Amino acid sequence: MGIQIAPSILSADFANLERDIAAVANADWLHVDVMDGHFVPNLTLGLPVLERLAQVSPVPIDAHLMIEDPDHWAPRYAEAGAASVTFHFEAARDAKAIARDIKRLGARASVALKPGTPVEAVLDDLREFDMVLVMTVEPGFGGQSFMPDMMSKVRTLRDHAHAEQHDLWIQTDGGISRDTIETVARSGGDVFVAGSAVYGAPDPAAEVTALRDLARAACHG
């Protein structure tokens, strides 16, 4: 699939979501952060809002569930229209079963790792997942600074996926911008969540293109 850009609506104008979603119609995904105020200290939106967003978005929905009990909730987001559902390893009782439930419903299954969670936690079951999200900030709030030491996780995941001949997508989320995206791309990341970098730009669509071009150039440099 190559380099993919997923603007995060956490940095959009919640009073004008449809407008701001349309502004990034050239993106590959629309990243929707679902937070419950328990797993992370922030509260955003849930199933009814995501279901409606999926109906109006010009690009597929990439749901990032920062919530407790993903064993119960994650499949419901696939049913609500998310084309990719990411749940946190730290919140899951049975990560493999969740991934299989998501895929059975026709969505891509992804597992996310907080900065303090070792990458080894998912290596034995890597083929169960379509994507691994490496958090490059502590989850919960947008606008945080990128953590470059997380690149060792990205490199390890890419090496293991290559060794297993597994077409694994590696997503990064947190502090992704023109200043950091090349570092991630060179480390093996290929799906980039960008919130404030995109929605803080004068032209969000142009910023999506600029980020994609920088990542592609870094991969081939």
Domain boundaries, the chain: 4-220
Residue 85: per-residue pLDDT: 98
For residue 48, what are the contacts with CB-CB under 8 A and spacing of at least 6?
Answer: none
> What's the distance, Cα to Cα, between the start and end of the chain in Å?
18
Region 167-178: mean pLDDT is: 97
Among residues 20, 28, 33, 190, the one annotated as catalytic is 33
127 phi and psi angles, rounded to 5 deg: -70, -10
Q: Please answer whether residues 21 and 57 qualify as being in contact, where contact means their C-beta atoms are separated by less than 8 angstroms.
A: yes
Q: What is the pTM of this model?
A: 0.96
Q: Is-catalytic flag, 33?
A: yes
What does the pLDDT look like over 3-60, one tens digit per residue?
999 999 999 999 999 999 999 999 999 999 999 999 999 999 999 999 999 999 999 9
Measured distance CA(15)–CA(38) in Å, rounded: 24
What does the pLDDT look like over 86-107, one tens digit per residue?
999 999 999 999 999 999 999 9
119, pLDDT greater than 80 = yes
Among residues 28, 101, 130, 173, the one annotated as catalytic is 173
Binning pLDDT at 50, 70 and 90, where does residue 221 land? low
Measured distance CA(22)–CA(113) in Å, rounded: 30
The CATH number of the domain covering residues in 4-220: 3.20.20.70
Nearest to 126 by CA among 116, 107, 113: 113
Region 68-89: mean pLDDT is: 98
